[in-house]
Amino acid sequence: MDRTQFYGQKFNMIQVLRGIAVIFVLLEHIELCGFGAFGVDIFFVISGFMAMYSTSDKSKQKGFSFLIKRFFRISPLYYVMTLIVAMATLLAPQVFEQTEFSVWYILKAFLYIPYTINGDATPILRVGWCLNYEMLFYLVFFIAMKISHKYRGLITSAVFLALTVIGGFVEFESVILRFWFGELCAEFVLGIFAFYICYAAYPFFRSVKERKFLKGLLSVSVVLTSILLFIMMAKKITVFSASGFLRPLNWGVSSFVIFIIVFWLGCIIDVPDTVVKPGNISFSLFLVHYPIIMAVNRIGENFDNIGTRILITILGVVISVVISIPAYYLFERKLYGIFKKT
Q: Which of 258, 339, 289 is nearest to 13 (CA)?
A: 258
Q: Which of 11, 76, 21 is nearest to 49 (CA)?
A: 11
The residues, any chain, with a CB within 8 Å of residue 88's CB and separated by 6 or more, are: 95, 96, 291
Above 60 in pLDDT, residue 222? yes
Strand partners, 120: 117
Average pLDDT over residues 190-207: 88
Other Cβ atoms within 10 Å of 72 Cβ, number: 18
> For residue 11, what pLDDT band results from cuts at 50, 70 and 90?
confident
Above 50 in pLDDT, residue 237? no
Top pLDDT among 167 and 214 is at 167
Task: Return the ∠ at Cα 13 (arms to 10 and 19), rounded to 5°.
Answer: 115
Average pLDDT over residues 316-342: 85
Share of the chain above pLDDT 90, in %: 39
The DSSP element (H or E) to which 154 belongs, if any, is helix 152-169
What pLDDT sits at residue 94? 67
Above 80 in pLDDT, residue 338? no
> For residue 244, what pLDDT band results from cuts at 50, 70 and 90?
low
Average pLDDT over residues 9-16: 86
pTM above 0.85, yes or no: yes
> For residue 170, what pLDDT band results from cuts at 50, 70 and 90?
confident
Top pLDDT among 263 and 91 is at 263
Alpha-carbon distance of 286 to 181, in angstroms, equals: 24
